[in-house]
């Protein structure tokens, strides 16, 4: 589904936000044959060709029309990093969002166990403002479907990468606060003519907005849902996730249960272990009780240090002990491997480091915004 750019000096549409149908409609309106839509997207997705002039089965006039009305690469790469474990990270600026440092988004390629996972952003910054997250440097708007999809295509074009096998919406932003663009992007990413990535390999991670989870449960594609829980009770959660003020864990779990009833898919509870804050044995016991209230598994994530953030990285012993307590209570639990520790690979971290170098700090972060749903 095509989405016009928000209030923009850039008048061209993103080719990555187009379907064969939407592009064909524009082509027909411009006097071209209907087949032009599928023809162009075959170049983009089948052959990785983005320059209209290289689309040799189009006439010169069609190529000129395409170049005048559509753009394939909107994002400007302002920084790139590679870690020794193969993790690669891009910082992208969006021209009509302004070129200052606060209006940039990140995407990360995580190669592991034969997978090539793209971790992508859904918004510029994030309205939630979690205390542990470097993306909380303010919120500057939603990304369009085209810009969400572009991140996946870009990561797949990096040297030696090839086709992306998995996508996780775990970069900047709260995906369910940008649901129309996120669902449009997923349709394109999983389409056989598009990204060709099975919906079962696409995971949407939310901080938990019950009304939005219920709306998302009507989405027709079998994607995975991950809930960023990060604390086993409401009091602790409110101290690190401002949106915890708007919904209790019990209310979020009710919505997750509805999502499971409709989708039949188990939910992943993401739990970021912050040393000395939420990684004590009593927290593990409480988390086990929460996890058993719905069909879920738990992903433990060991905090990656971020300059200027008031949390410690928990010890390996504490992480393993935490996992053992959960497993002893019958909760399916995994520890997510830390990736890209020698680059700024945590959510929002590359943008954060650029901002720190410009003199911005957690203290200058704007207040988080309430959910609009």
Among 148, 172, 202, 344, binds ligand SF4 (CB under 6 A): 172
128 binds ligand SF4 (CB under 6 A): yes
347 is catalytic: yes
Which stretch, 72-80, 151-159, 170-178, 350-358, contacts ligand SF4 (CB under 6 A)?
170-178
Contact range with ligand SF4 by CB under 6 A, out of 124-132, 256-264, 275-283, 300-308: 124-132
Asked whether 108 and 124 are in contact (CB, 8 A), the reply is no
Instruction: Work out whether 173 is an interface residue with ligand SF4 (CB under 6 A).
Output: yes
Options 107, 119, 130, 347, the catalytic residue: 347
Write down the least CB distance from residue 101 to ligand SF4, Å.
Answer: 17
Nearer to ligand SF4, 45 or 94 (CB): 94
Q: Which stretch binds ligand SF4 (CB under 6 A): 169-177, 186-194, 208-216, 249-257?
A: 169-177
Minimum CB distance to ligand SF4, residue 129 (Å): 5
* Of residues 20 and 340, the one with the C-beta less far from ligand SF4: 340
Question: Bridge-partner residues for 81, per DSSP?
Answer: 89
Residue 304 touches ligand SF4, criterion: CB under 6 A: no
Least distance (Å) between residue 345 CB and ligand SF4:
14
- Would residue 106 show up in a list of annotated catalytic residues for this protein? yes
Pairing of strands 224-228, 202-206: parallel
Length of the chain: 373
The correct pick among 23, 347, 350, 360 for binding ligand SF4 (CB under 6 A) is 347
Interface characters, 130-149, with ligand SF4 (x: CB under 6 A): x--x-xx-------------
If one asks whether residue 242 binds ligand SF4 (CB under 6 A), the answer comes out as no
Q: Which stretch binds ligand SF4 (CB under 6 A): 90-98, 166-174, 251-259, 279-287?
A: 166-174
**How large is the angle between the packed helices 179-190 and 145-157, nearest 10 degrees?**
40
207 binds ligand SF4 (CB under 6 A): yes
| Nearer to ligand SF4 among residue 190 and residue 228 (C-beta) | 228
> Of these residues, 74, 106, 150, 270, which one is catalytic?
106
CB of 135 to ligand SF4, least distance (A): 4
Q: How far is the CB of 124 from ligand SF4 (least distance, A)?
A: 11
As a three-state string, the secondary structure of the chain is: CCCCCCCCCCCCEEHHHCCHHHHHHHHHHCCCCCCHHHHHHHHHHHCCCCCHHHCCCCCHHHHHHHHHHEECCCCEEEEEEECCCCCEEEEEECHHHCCCHHHEEEEEEEEECCEEEEECCCEEECCCCCCCCCCCCCEEEECCHHHHHHHHHHHHHCCCCCCCCEEEECCCCCHHHHHHHHHHHHHHHHCCCCCCCCHHHEEEEECCCHHHHHHHCCCCCCCEEEEECCCCCHHHHHHHCHHHHCCCHHHHHHHHHHHHHHHCCCEEEEEEECECCCCCHHHHHHHHHHHCCCCEEEEEEECCCCCCCCCECCCHHHHHHHHHHHHHCCCCEEEECCCCCCCCCCCCHHHHHHHHHCCCCHHHCCCCCCCCC
Nearer to ligand SF4, 40 or 241 (CB): 241
Asked if 174 touches ligand SF4 (CB under 6 A), the answer is yes
Question: What residues line the site for ligand SF4 (CB under 6 A)?
Answer: 126, 128-130, 133, 135-136, 172-174, 207, 347
Residues annotated as part of the active site = 106, 347
């Amino acid at each position: 589904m095509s989405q016009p750019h928000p209030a923009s000096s850039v008048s061209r549409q993103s080719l990555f936000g187009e379907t064969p149908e939407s592009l064909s409609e524009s082509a027909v309106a411009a006097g071209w044959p209907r087949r032009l839509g599928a023809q162009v997207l075959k170049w983009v997705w089948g052959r990785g060709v983005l320059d209209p002039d290289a689309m040799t089965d189009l006439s010169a006039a069609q190529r000129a029309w395409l170049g005048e009305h559509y753009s394939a690469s909107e994002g400007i790469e302002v920084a790139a990093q590679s870690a020794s474990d193969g993790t690669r990270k891009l910082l992208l600026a969006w021209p009509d969002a302004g070129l200052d440092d606060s209006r940039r988004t990140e995407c990360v390629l995580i190669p592991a166990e034969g997978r090539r996972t793209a971790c992508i952003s859904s918004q510029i910054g994030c309205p939630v403002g979690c205390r542990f997250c470097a993306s909380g440097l303010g919120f500057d708007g939603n990304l369009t479907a085209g810009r969400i999809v572009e991140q996946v295509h870009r990561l797949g074009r990096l040297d030696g990468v090839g086709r992306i096998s998995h996508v996780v919406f775990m970069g900047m932003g709260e995906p369910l606060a940008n649901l129309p663009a996120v669902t449009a992007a997923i349709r394109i990413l999983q389409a056989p003519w598009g990204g060709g990535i099975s919906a079962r390999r696409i995971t949407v991670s939310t901080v938990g907005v019950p009304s939005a989870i219920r709306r998302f449960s009507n989405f027709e594609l079998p994607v995975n849902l991950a809930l960023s829980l990060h604390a086993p009770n409401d009091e602790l959660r409110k101290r690190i996730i401002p949106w915890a003020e708007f919904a209790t864990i019990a209310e979020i779990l009710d919505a997750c249960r509805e999502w499971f009833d409709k989708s039949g898919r188990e939910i992943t509870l993401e739990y970021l272990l912050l040393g000395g804050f939420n990684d004590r044995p009593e927290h593990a016991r409480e988390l086990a009780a929460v996890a058993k209230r719905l069909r879920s598994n738990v992903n433990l994530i060991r905090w990656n240090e971020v300059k200027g953030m008031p949390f410690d990285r928990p010890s390996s012993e504490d992480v393993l002990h935490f996992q053992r307590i959960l497993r002893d209570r019958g909760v399916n639990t995994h520890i997510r491997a830390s990736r890209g520790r020698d680059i700024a690979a945590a959510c929002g971290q590359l943008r954060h480091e650029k901002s720190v170098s410009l003199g911005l700090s957690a203290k200058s972060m704007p207040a988080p915004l309430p959910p609009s749903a």
